[in-house]
Homo-oligomer: A and B are copies of this chain.
Amino acid sequence: MYPLSENLFAPLNSWYVAAWSDEITAAPMERWLLEQPVVFYRRSNGTATALDGRCPHRHFPLAKGRVVEDNLQCGYHGLVFAPDGRCLRVPSQPFAPAACNIVAHPVVDDGTWVWIWPGDPARADLTLLPHTAVEGFRTAVRAYRRVCGRYMLLHDNLLDLSHLEYLHAGGIGSAGAAEVLEHRTQGEDWVKSEREQVDAPCPPHFQALFGYSGPVTRRFGMTCHVPALHVGYDEFAGPAGPLGRFRVCHAITPGRKGETHYFVAASRDFALDDKALTQGMNSALGKTLDEDVAATEAIEQMITSLREEPRDVLVRGDATCVTGRRLFESMIRRELQGR
């Protein structure tokens, strides 16, 4: 599916953000991830649990059931499932058949985010779990958006930061951002894009945060960790020295068909206890995301309204985007070939 090749959806054998850590409680919660229903709950010892969200008997949503002694009981005919997915009980018969077992998804709760491995549980690899914490930085604000659009459009958006000058004009972008040279580096499952703007106007949102409106040198970049996370940095200095440094994690997870979960956490390394600054960051982040989401949804509507799926015209500034798309395609194809 555009912008990937036809019939390619997304890698499944990877870690994706499923939820904020504090969303998972003792009460079952359904969330669709990678076009599958998943039910989450927290066991009495605090462990986050993720099971297939559909009872295999009659397809009733297990999130409408209840947790009984750390097991999940279906609310329709009473089948009981253990946190490891085994069916423990079928009320109408004396034993529980193995055919009733369901998938338990590997999950990792890092305190901020709950990560899920939606593919083959046997291949879940903790060494692949992204690290999002950095010394000296503290998460200041976070935001979630449910996006009515295919997930790759959000990746496309972050893979081409030249959009800051136009889509975020009057916000986090300023004139000239699209023209500066882009430095690109890449690895097997990541691609990084970096830019430096010297003696540039300070973008409006940052003027408000710094209380400074003079010229700045801005260094900013974004690393796309395929397939689920972008980590960006944004650093400002004025003639008198550094003004501040930010770090933003963008977690992108396909939800239901045509729907994407977008989780964002932004941190800074200065004035960590300044609440007014945090409020300002929160407001700036919200407005920026609203612009990104509106653009993504407008493109989704455009694509789906056209009689035929459109093809891109590629320009020089698309090199990082094209690299990123290729990494996604390679990862999906390797997975489909069983590797």
Q: Taking beta carbons and an 8 Å cutoff, which residues of A are in contact with B?
A: 32, 35-37, 54, 56-61, 64, 73-78, 90-93, 97, 99-100, 156, 160, 162-163, 165-167, 178-179, 182, 256-257, 295, 298-299, 302-303, 305-307, 310, 312-313, 315-318
Contacts and interface: CB of A to CB of B under 8 A. Distances in A.
A34 to B, nearest CB: 10
B77 A32 contact: no
Given A93-B317, A315-B100, A77 B163 contact: yes
A57 B315 contact: yes
Contacts of A295: 60, 64, 75-76
Given A78-B178, A90-B316, 17 more contacts: A35-B307, A54-B302, A58-B299, A59-B302, A59-B303, A60-B299, A61-B298, A64-B298, A76-B163, A77-B167, A78-B162, A91-B162, A92-B317, A93-B316, A100-B313, A100-B315, A257-B307
Contact of A179 (B92, B178, B313): B92
Given A91-B179, A256-B305, A166 B57 contact: no
Nearest to A167: B76
Contacts of A316: 90, 92-93
Contact of A298 (B60, B90, B182): B60
Nearest to A91: B178
A61 B296 CA distance: 11
A77 B257 contact: no
Contacts of A99: 313
Nearest to A256: B305
A233 to B, nearest CB: 21
Contacts of A310: 54, 56, 59
Contacts of A59: 299, 302-303, 310, 312
B92 A315 contact: yes
A182 B305 CA distance: 41
A179 B90 CA distance: 9
A313 B75 CA distance: 17
